[in-house]
Amino acid sequence: MISAESRPAMMTIGFHTDAFNGSYWSFDKCLDWAQRNGVGRIECGLIDGVSWLHGLGYQPHVALYEDPVLLRRKMDRYGVRFSQVDAAFPLSGEEGLTRGVPYVLKSIAWAAQVGCPCVDTTDGLRAPEGLEAGEAMALMKRCYTQILRVAEAHEVVVNIEPHGFFTTNPEAMAEMLGFVCSPFLRMNMDTGNTFIAGRDPVAFLRRFLAKVSPVHVKDVSRALAEALRGGATGIALSHCAIGEGVNAENIRSCLTLLRDAGWEGNLSLECDGSVIEDSLTWLKRTLNELGIAHE
């Protein structure tokens, strides 16, 4: 029998339902895809209110008015669990406190009831209008102080994703992760956003390795990199299959770094639905080549 100490670190594979935004799938259809493809983890956005597109079944996300216990029972029938839910309203602008914080707080309580371990948060894609950098950081510190009080009560991890003007800057990210001294404040690594922002994803991951929670696995096509790299702070997803873009070697190196650190967590595919099955095949093959146990 292998002891817990000698057992290799286990990673799980999931996907973000953003993959099927353009296909106008429902969340139930995403659950069906996950079951058919043997993917046991799922991540989706949370809707705070009513959306006609979602109500008609053309949006692959979940509304906060949906009962979390009943949804958890439905997901159990599919054999799929949440890895994370996405409450990424930009907290760096003036509406961070008035709109972003209440949204994240509701998302945390909902996540706890549905059995989801993590809630994703971030800043805005650009510098906030009308605020100096120091003012924006002070505003976000107030936001995260309120958010972590509730997160600790519910024992739900709040992740900060590198996706915007501040969070893709490693110095700002370090300051943000120090806003509150809590094991429930961590980082959602994103290989594509860090790359498109002009950073080295491997160096970014290495710096924050001890704080990494889930990882968004996102490649970047050569054309997109040539057009946007260094001039943008994030992309929603990849339109090329993961492994076929210019970020593939960085992803492989990130996986190696995670393996060597004994990291256990979820790898969430972020790519368009038209290439998600090829992306899943590449990720599984790469994990096998690197000797990484996964489910």
Residue stretches of the chain with pLDDT short of 50: 1-4
Residue 271 within any structural domain of the chain: yes
What pTM was estimated for this model as a whole? 0.96
Domain assignment of residue 174, yes or no: yes
Number of separate domains in the chain: 1
pLDDT in tens, 174-219: 999 999 999 999 999 999 999 999 999 999 999 999 999 999 999 9
Q: Is position 3 within any domain? A: no
Q: Considering the domain boundaries, does residue 278 fall inside one? A: yes
Considering the domain boundaries, does residue 82 fall inside one?
Answer: yes
Residue 8 confidence (pLDDT):
72
The predicted pLDDT at position 9 comes to: 80
Pairs from 255-260 (Cβ < 8 Å, separation ≥ 24): 255/286, 255/287, 255/290, 255/292, 256/290, 257/202, 257/205, 257/206, 257/209, 258/9, 258/11, 258/205, 258/209, 258/212, 258/215, 258/292, 259/9, 259/290, 259/291, 259/292
Tell me if 211 sits within 8 A of 261, measured CB to CB. Answer: no
Which is it for the CA torsion 105, 111, 113, 116, positive or negative? negative
pLDDT on residue 3: 45
| Residue 293 maps to a domain | no
Residue 87 lies in a domain: yes
Which residues form the domain of 106? 10-283
* CATH code at position 267: 3.20.20.150
Phi-psi region at 292: left, alpha or beta (left = phi > 0; alpha = psi -120 to 50) = beta
**How high is the mean pLDDT of the chain?**
96
DSSP 247: T
For residue range 99-108, what is the model confidence (pLDDT) as tens digits? 999 999 999 9
